[in-house]
Every structure is written in structure tokens, then in C-alpha cells.
Structure 1
Amino acid sequence: MLIRHFEQTDFPFIKAIYQQGIDTGNATFQLTPKSWEEWNGSMHEHSRLVAVEHDNVLGWAAISPISGRDVYSGVAEVSVYVVASERGKRIGQKLLSQLILESERNNIWMLQAAIFPENIASIKVHSRNGFRQLGIREKLGKMTGIWRDVILMERRSKIIGRD
């Protein structure tokens, strides 16, 4: 398996994998995949990765800014998704590990993730990559009429923002 930088031609695969995450009901508040324009505009242009094997995109990871304010320029939210048939094979682990390195190369000092408590696999992957649980944001938003909590996790860089 190869982890490489995202190319625009990967987007149909990213969209399909994202839809699989949406279908679980435990990956995102989003109910439909974003269009290319929405997705491209919401993610940093750097730190976009795909996991590929035999020309098949098996997963993707990217970061999005949490705010347009300069003071938060080094803080980003993490997205990691793996195709349903390949979950449990450490692809998410490898993507997130590489994404951390990419983010630090681009002066990101803190990564955060908001994860549904039911998404145990995602919580474990983030924990293994140095994220810590800050708390639970209770009833953060409604999804299909049901209030959902999220676990807020963060990872502070050991090399960026320590001066």
C-alpha cells in the first residue's frame, strides 16, 4: 500500500468512501457527501492524503481549518475515512500518522477531532496517534432528529508552536 498526496482525479473515490462513512451513521453529521467545490474549499490544500493499492483508493485523510482567524492558523480538524471493505487493516492508522507529519511540515501545531462516542475504532486510532480526550460535547447537534454527543480529542505537536 502506498500513501501519497491527493490528486483531483481521486475525488470520486473520496466521495464514495465518504458516503460509506455517512452510511454508518457514526462518522459525521454530514448527511450527503460534499461536492468537489465544497470539499476542496473546506480542506487545506496541503495535508491531503490517499492510501492506494493496485490503483484503488482505500482511504483518505485531510485537514480543514477550524477558523479563518490568523490566531488559529495552526489549528486544524482531522478527517480520516477508510473504504468499508478495508476497515480494521490499519489503513486509518497509517493515514493519520502520515497526516500528522504533513500537517507539521505545514506549521500546524494542533489537530483536533470530534468523534461520535459510538465510533470506537476512530477513538482508538486517534489515541494511538497521540490524541487525548478533552471531554464530551453533549448534544452538540441533531442528526435525523436525534441529539448526538461528540468526544473532542486533540493532539498538540511536539515540534511546532513550542517556542
Structure 2
Amino acid sequence: MEIRDARAGDVPGITPIYNDAVEKTTAIWNEQIVDDANRLAWLTQRQDAGFPVLVAVDDSSAAAPVVGYATYGPWRPHDGYRHTVEHSVYVRSDQRGKGTGQALMRALIDRARAEGFHVMVAAIDAANEGSIRIHERLGFTRVGLLPQVGTKFGSWLDLALLQLTLDGHALDDGAARDAHD
């Protein structure tokens, strides 16, 4: 398995993974499936904004080589959150439990560190203990629970918040000094 930056040619592999998560899981709280044009626009927007989209590719599966993908983007839209990112990881249903998600997460964490981000946030369906355990093994800590903030499949969903501090650096941008002058 290879993990690399996604390309436009990977979209036909990304789309069914996304749609499977929409239709069958609470990994994403969207309810509308999308087409390749939607995912291509999403990929282009992410990359144009400077955020990575990584794919896990298994070339031995020539018919469907993309077995998972991961990305991160802004946690919130306000300037004060610019050092924090939120991530997403999706793995093709026939590849779950084989370490693909964890490998994508490690690569994504490495990328966020290299880009100088301070914190990575995970927002996970609180009932998804498997995902929460993987995150905890990678150093994330549970920091909050938002009860009944979402709904899917006719049920209220609780959102678990986890975070990973990516560095131990003090804030060193003029804004902190300017705020105290």
C-alpha cells in the first residue's frame, strides 16, 4: 500500500468510499450521496486552499486501487483558530480493520506537523468506539462530548471531541505580543 497526495484521477475511487460512509455509517453526518464532479470540486478546493488530501492506494487491486483517503482543513473559520485543523479519514468498507485508517492518520499527522499546525481535532460519533480507540492509540485525548448535536438514520447522535497537540511550541507570531502592548 502506498500513501500519496490525491490526484484528479483518484476521484472515481474516492467518490464510492464517501458515498458508502454517507449511506451506511455515522462517520459523516451528511445524507446526500455525491457524484465524481462534486468530489473533484471538493478535491480542487481543498488543494487550492493548501490542505492535503491523501489517498491510500493498493495497486494490486487494479479495478479499485484507492482503499482510503484522509484530509484536514480549518477547525473553525475565525483567525484565532488558524493553528488548529480538523481531520477526516475514510476507508473502503472491504479494507477496514487492516491498518489503512491508522496509516492514513499517521501520514496526516506528519503532514500537519510539517506544516506547523499546533492542534489536530477529531469530531467522532461518540458511539464509534473503534475510531475513538484508534485515535487514542495515536495520542489523541478525549476533551469533550456534545450530546444530541446531530441526527442520522432517525436517531440523535452525540459528538465526541478529541485532540492531539502536534507540537510543544509557544505561540510566536506578532499577534500575541501586539495583544499585550
TM-score (norm 1): 0.89
Distance verdict in 2 for CA 1:14–1:160, change over 3 Å: farther
Distance 2:138 2:105 in 1: 7
1:145 shift after superposition: 4.3
Query: Structure 1 stretch 26-35 or stretch 36-45: which is displaced more?
Result: 36-45
Contact 1:109 1:161 in 2 (8 A): no
Match of 1:19 in 2: 19
1:49 aligns with 54
Distance in 2 separating the partners of 1:128 and 1:57: 25
Q: Deviations over 1:32-80 (max 9, x none)?
A: 2452324543675332211011150110010021223222112111100
C-alpha spacing 1:148/1:61, structure 2 compared with 1 (3 Å): same
Conserved 8 A contact 1:111-1:154: yes
1:131 and 2:140 aligned: yes
Question: What is the aligned partner in structure 1 of residue 81 from structure 2?
Answer: 72
Q: Give unpaired runs (5+ residues) of structure 1.
A: none
- Give unpaired runs (5+ residues) of structure 2: 173-181
1:132-147 residue pairs with structure 2 within 5 A? Answer: 132-147=141-156
Cα distance per residue 1:90-148 (max 9 Å; x no partner): 00000000100001111211111111122222112211111111121101122244321
Report the 3-state secondary structure (helix = DSSP H, G, I; strand = E; otherwise coil) of the residue aligned with 1:41. Answer: helix
AA in 2 matched with 1:128? R
Report what 1:156 is aligned to: 165
Q: Does the Cα contact within 8 Å between 1:14 and 1:59 map onto a contact in 2?
A: yes
Higher strand share: 1
Taking only aligned residues, the RMSD between alpha carbons, in angstroms, comes to 2.0
Which of these two proteins has the greater Rg computed from alpha carbons? Answer: 2
> Are residues 4 and 161 of structure 1, via their aligned partners in 2, closer, same or farther at CA, if it must alter by over 3 Å?
farther
Aligned residues: 163
Letter in 1 for 2:29: F
Taking structure 1 as reference, are residues 13 and 161 closer, same or farther at Cα in structure 2, changes over 3 Å only? farther
Identity across the alignment (%):
30
Hey, which bits of structure 1, 4+ residues long, moved more than 4 A?
159-163
Distance across 1 between alignment mates of 2:92 and 2:170: 34
Higher-RCO chain (CA-CA 8 Å, sequence separation at least 6): 1
Q: Which has the larger displacement, 38-47 or 115-124?
A: 38-47
